[in-house]
């Protein structure tokens, strides 16, 4: 079978079935003669916030509708070099803000396991594309859980690498100190293959880590018997879904059976981490999104006066969740409140990171739920603050920069996937993937 045939098989399946799922917002019509390289002919899907010079990059926002960047993101360059076929761009919550992909200005994406449910978000299109078998792997971005939560909701593997391991050059910014690109795949090995390709130093991203990355495949079959896992105290007493708790308990048993040690550890309060996230992320977002004023990018609303043009462009171009974040963030950064909100959140961030570092002197890895519940129903009315709360287990990795991986952990009675998460200290992906592979 030739690389081109592989591409065509996937492409046909996608065309036949994506009408039901809605994972993609733009497809690549040009089946490039697959080059050489490790991924020759392998289709990979990209979340629509990664710049592609041959496909639109609209971030699921009206304001960037049909925007066509003049260049490729660093990860796109790397995938092309490896011979991958970039099959299309996937749906997401507008500017990656959300947990269901329903904040997309484009369409609703459905969970392939149960079409009445969402695939999670914000990288819901990428998760659904992998779960539906349209692609063996996809890239997503994770600012507060947007790779790991949709992976859990869609029954696939999702990895948020250490902050700085993967270049953010060409990733449309949400919250620059938290954003990180990573793979979604059907198994740990495929995620490791993708990580090998996309990681590495890039001087065009000032926060890119200047390190040589190891081979992430090298320890996958070594098992977990040399690891101690930490279970954060109190997590299983929280008011969360019972099936999710059971999935964590089952993972503990599986780890112990495989020779690992599991002990309880004490971590900072989840409420504090969530509060810090929902100050820092909107603050950075409000600053990053200031550039969409109708002058340089996207759709402009013409008006007599310049100020009015800005106003109309932004009022019509941004959806409700993005506006909510801009208002929250502008408030947190405003002169009278900056010390109490933004600066306070940065201090909390430092304290949290120190607390985690102490815990990683005792254990190699943490085991937690990925999300408090399985996938929500499509169209479920939810208070924004309740939805924010569902990020509790994922935001710690973004606040600290640590890598986290979500693994499939069975299904509930309704056939909805469940997920568990492993977290390690920074740049420890070799061990994180080893542990994940042992638990898979």
Give min distance, CB of 40 to ligand GLN, in A: 31
Q: Select the span of 92-100, 243-251, 298-306, 429-437 touching ligand GLN (CB under 6 A).
A: 92-100
* Ranges within 377-406 binding ligand GLN (CB under 6 A): 391
* Adjacent-strand bridge partners of 411: 417
144 forms part of the interface with ligand GLN (CB under 6 A)? yes
- Lay out the site mask for ligand GLN across 164-183 (x = CB under 6 A, - = otherwise): ----------x---------
Radius of gyration of the chain (CA): 21
**Which of 52, 106, 114, 143 is the binder for ligand GLN (CB under 6 A)?**
143
| 122 catalytic residue (yes or no) | yes
| Residue 328 backbone zone (phi > 0: left; psi -120 to 50: alpha; other: beta) | alpha
For residues 52 and 146, which CB has a smaller minimum distance to ligand GLN in the complex? 146
User: Residue count at the site for ligand GLN (CB under 6 A)?
Assistant: 13
Give min distance, CB of 253 to ligand GLN, in A: 30
For residues 102 and 142, which CB has a smaller minimum distance to ligand GLN in the complex? 142
281 forms part of the interface with ligand GLN (CB under 6 A)? yes
For residues 114 and 143, which CB has a smaller minimum distance to ligand GLN in the complex? 143
332 forms part of the interface with ligand GLN (CB under 6 A)? no
146 forms part of the interface with ligand GLN (CB under 6 A)? yes
Q: Select the span of 90-98, 200-208, 263-271, 305-313 touching ligand GLN (CB under 6 A).
A: 90-98
**Which of 122, 196, 286, 313 is the binder for ligand GLN (CB under 6 A)?**
122
Give min distance, CB of 324 to ligand GLN, in A: 10
Q: How far apart are CA 144 and CA 281, in angstroms?
A: 8
For residues 151 and 409, which CB has a smaller minimum distance to ligand GLN in the complex? 151
Q: Which of 61, 141, 146, 286 is catalytic?
A: 146
| 146 catalytic residue (yes or no) | yes
Give min distance, CB of 317 to ligand GLN, in A: 19
142 forms part of the interface with ligand GLN (CB under 6 A)? yes
For residues 104 and 196, which CB has a smaller minimum distance to ligand GLN in the complex? 104
Q: Which of 122, 126, 426, 437 is catalytic?
A: 122
Give min distance, CB of 380 to ligand GLN, in A: 15
Using Cβ positions, the residue closest to ligand GLN within the complex turns out to be 146
Give min distance, CB of 14 to ligand GLN, in A: 24
Give min distance, CB of 425 to ligand GLN, in A: 20
| 78 catalytic residue (yes or no) | no
For residues 159 and 281, which CB has a smaller minimum distance to ligand GLN in the complex? 281
User: Could you identify the residue written with the tokens 């000032």?
Assistant: 206
- CA of 112: how far to CAs of 86, 107, 123, 228, in Å? 21, 15, 14, 35
Binding interface with ligand GLN (CB under 6 A):
96-99, 122, 142-146, 174, 281, 391
Report the catalytic residues.
47, 122, 146
């Amino acid at each position: 079978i030739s690389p081109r045939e592989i591409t065509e098989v996937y492409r046909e399946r996608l065309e036949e079935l994506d009408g039901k799922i809605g994972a993609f917002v733009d497809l690549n019509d040009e089946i490039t003669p697959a080059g050489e390289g490790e991924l020759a002919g392998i289709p990979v899907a990209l979340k629509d916030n990664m710049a592609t010079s041959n496909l639109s990059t609209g971030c699921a926002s009206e304001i960037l509708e049909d925007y066509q960047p003049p260049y490729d993101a660093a990860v796109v360059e790397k995938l092309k070099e490896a011979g991958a076929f970039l099959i299309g761009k996937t749906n997401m919550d507008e500017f990656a803000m959300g947990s269901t992909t329903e904040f997309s200005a484009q369409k609703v994406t459905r969970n392939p396991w149960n079409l009445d449910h969402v695939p999670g978000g914000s990288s819901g299109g990428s998760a659904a594309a992998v779960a539906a078998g349209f692609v063996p792997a996809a890239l997503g971005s994770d600012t507060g859980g947007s790779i790991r939560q949709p992976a859990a909701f869609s029954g696939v593997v999702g990895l948020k690498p250490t902050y700085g391991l993967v270049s953010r050059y060409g990733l449309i910014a949400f919250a620059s100190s938290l954003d990180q690109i990573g793979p979604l795949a059907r198994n740990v090995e495929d995620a490791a293959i993708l990580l090998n390709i996309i990681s590495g130093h890039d001087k065009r991203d000032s926060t890119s880590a200047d390190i040589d990355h190891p081979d992430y495949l090298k320890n996958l079959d070594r098992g977990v018997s040399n690891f101690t896992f930490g279970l954060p105290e109190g997590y299983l007493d929280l008011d969360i879904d019972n099936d999710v708790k059971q999935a964590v308990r089952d993972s503990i048993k599986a780890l112990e059976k495989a020779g690992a040690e599991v002990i309880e550890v004490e971590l900072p309060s989840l409420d504090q981490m969530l509060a810090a996230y929902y100050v820092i992320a909107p603050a950075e977002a409000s600053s990053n999104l200031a550039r969409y004023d109708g002058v340089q990018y996207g759709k402009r609303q013409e008006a007599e006066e310049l100020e009015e043009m800005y106003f109309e462009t932004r009022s019509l171009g941004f959806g409700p969740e993005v506006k909510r974040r801009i208002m929250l963030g502008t408030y947190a950064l405003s002169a009278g409140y900056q010390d109490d909100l933004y600066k306070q959140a940065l201090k909390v961030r430092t304290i949290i990171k120190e607390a985690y570092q102490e815990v990683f002197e005792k254990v190699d890895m943490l085991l937690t739920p990925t999300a408090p519940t399985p996938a929500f129903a499509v169209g479920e009315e939810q208070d924004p603050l309740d939805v924010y709360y569902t990020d509790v287990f994922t935001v710690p990795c973004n606040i600290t920069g640590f890598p986290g991986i979500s693994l499939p952990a069975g299904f509930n009675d309704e056939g909805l996937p469940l997920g568990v998460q492993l977290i390690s200290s920074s740049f420890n992906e070799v061990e994180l993937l080893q542990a994940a592979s042992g638990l898979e």
